[in-house]
Chains A and B, each alone.
Chain A
Amino acid sequence: EVVMTQSPATLSVSPGERATLSCRASQSITSNLAWYQQKPGRAPRLLIYGASTRATGIPARFSGSGSGTEFTLTISSLQSEDFAAYYCHQYNKWPRTFGQGTKVEIK
């Protein structure tokens, strides 16, 4: 199975600053990668699919990049509502797999 590894586990950022989250796949998944945001007690929300395409209604401050095995989610200027957990997910191969998550917390 494709193992997804996210780093860091926790990211402490001040509001207004830039946040960069990484996700690495154990083998090439081309661009079949999605990013989700999850707040406590809520279902995950799709942010990015196809490694770089924002889902409907997602603000432009969220951007995704990468292909193959290395991927990045960038939040250009953190807003209060962006403090949450973020998961990457590969849908290139079965079984589908998720990264272990990155928690973005207020510095």
Chain B
Amino acid sequence: DTEVTQTPKHLVMGMTNKKSLKCEQHMGHRAMYWYKQKAKKPPELMFVYSYEKLSINESVPSRFSPECPNSSLLNLHLHALQPEDSALYLCASSLDRGTYEQYFGPGTRLTVT
């Protein structure tokens, strides 16, 4: 089973709102990732967690705040977003932070109004 789940599927939020995206996997993977994907572009890495610790932050603005409460869960807290932050937000996981295959969840389609 290579399933990564994400909630919600769609999210519309205003620029003053606070919301969170959730990602879950039960494959025993120890690395989890957040990507952002704009239309007709490839996924762009935002954060990497390895063994529940943040190991890569790709200079993402502080209005995006990741959290890894345990090895199966990954959250992305959103605050004071801009309309240009509207995108598909993808979570992925892999066995480890190494050369292993990354499996993507279905994504959350975020619209900032």
A and B co-occur in one complex: no
Which residue numbers of B lie inside 8 Å of A, CB to CB?
none
Which residue numbers of A lie inside 8 Å of B, CB to CB?
none
